[in-house]
Structure 1
Amino acid sequence: MKLNKKLPAFTIMEVTISMLVAGIAIAIAFTAFRIVSGSYSGFTKKQEKVAALTTLDKVLKQDFLKADSIVRTEDGLVLKVKEGLITYQFDDQYLVRDQLSLRQDTFKMPVHELVLSFEKRVSEAGDRVDQLSFKTEADGDLIPLQYQKIYSAKDLFQ
């Protein structure tokens, strides 16, 4: 009895070539995934910084508009609003906002060239403030921010 029947199967060469092609396809897919993932991660970090800057700008504008008076402290500002006090503390690496002693917001943004003034004269601790200006960084660029409070005569005489 002869057993010379051929069985349907793949040769070693065919299996090796198919594994090589599969390996190349996996390497290309992994590289593309890393590129897209890195790009998305960078975009997300940049958007978080822009969102923090936008939020800080919005909150400062709103607080300056609502404030009855703004007074400089040793390391920041105290804004008197109808509901209570809002304090800002400025540091080289961050800015802290304490809203009515209920909630603190920390903005991890450096503060450079901080100027607090009243009627174009630099304010000292305890003095009234009508203008705040400083620069902060976003992606290595310095962004100037400026806020101004226009007091009513009633507010000035209180």
Structure 2
Amino acid sequence: MLNKKLPAFTLMEVTIAMLIAAIAIAITFTAYRIISGSYLNFTRKQDRIATFITADKLLKQDFLKARKIVKVPDGLALEMEGGVVNYNFNNAYLLRDQFSLRTDTFKLKIDKLNFLFENEAAVEGSPVDQCSFETEIDKQAISLYYQKTYSAKDLFQ
């Protein structure tokens, strides 16, 4: 009775099975990290692009709807039908204060900022009919240009 063999795995077979399982787990974890890192980078890039598109859309819309655009110390004040929309241009961000009710912050690098009126540099308190600056998305420079066409009525008010 003592010499009877029991059906079981040898120590070597168990060790090999554990080694194969450890390799499979390591491969799965590495693949998961690579995929989640790629997804995170994709999401960050899409967020930067969405920020850029939203800021560009709002600037175009506000330039179009504004009755008058005036240069202020930190940016622009756009006089609208419902109030004033203020834009604050900084090197690292753009602030949009809509009627003092809501402030949007856009993380955009802003370089080469120019405010012009009739192709001459606008001074503080004077009207603005052109705004241009450069921003950067993923180390690619993008130039933006906005123009306001005034009517004679707008300029004499």
TM-score, normalised relative to structure 1: 0.97
Please give the per-residue CA displacement for 1:40-88, whole angstroms capped at 9, x wherever unaligned: 1110110000000000000000000110000001110000000000000
> Is 2:77 the counterpart of 1:78?
yes
Secondary structure at the counterpart of residue 14 of structure 1:
helix
Q: Which residue of 2 aligns with 1:97?
A: 96
Q: Which residue of 2 aligns with 1:139?
A: 138
Q: Which residue of 2 aligns with 1:17?
A: 16
Q: Provide the rounded CA distance (Å) in 2 between the counterparts of 1:31 and 1:93.
A: 35
Shift of 1:127: 0.6
The amino acid across from 1:129 in the alignment is V
The percentage of counterpart residues that share the same residue type is: 59
Shift of 1:39: 0.6
User: Number of residues paired by the alignment?
Assistant: 157
Q: Provide the rounded CA distance (Å) in 2 between the counterparts of 1:98 and 1:142.
A: 26
Q: Provide the rounded CA distance (Å) in 2 between the counterparts of 1:133 and 1:112.
A: 9
Q: Which residue of 2 aligns with 1:121?
A: 120
Q: Which ranges in structure 2 are unaligned for 5 or more consecutive residues?
A: none
Q: Provide the rounded CA distance (Å) in 1 between the counterparts of 2:52 and 2:58.
A: 10
More off after superposition, 13-22 vs 2-11:
2-11
Q: Provide the rounded CA distance (Å) in 2 between the counterparts of 1:108 and 1:48.
A: 10
For the aligned residue pairs, the C-alpha RMSD in angstroms reads 0.7
Q: Provide the rounded CA distance (Å) in 1 between the counterparts of 2:92 and 2:2.
A: 83
Shift of 1:3: 2.2
Q: Which residue of 1 aligns with 2:106?
A: 107
TM-score, normalised relative to structure 2: 0.98
Q: Provide the rounded CA distance (Å) in 1 between the counterparts of 2:110 and 2:124.
A: 18
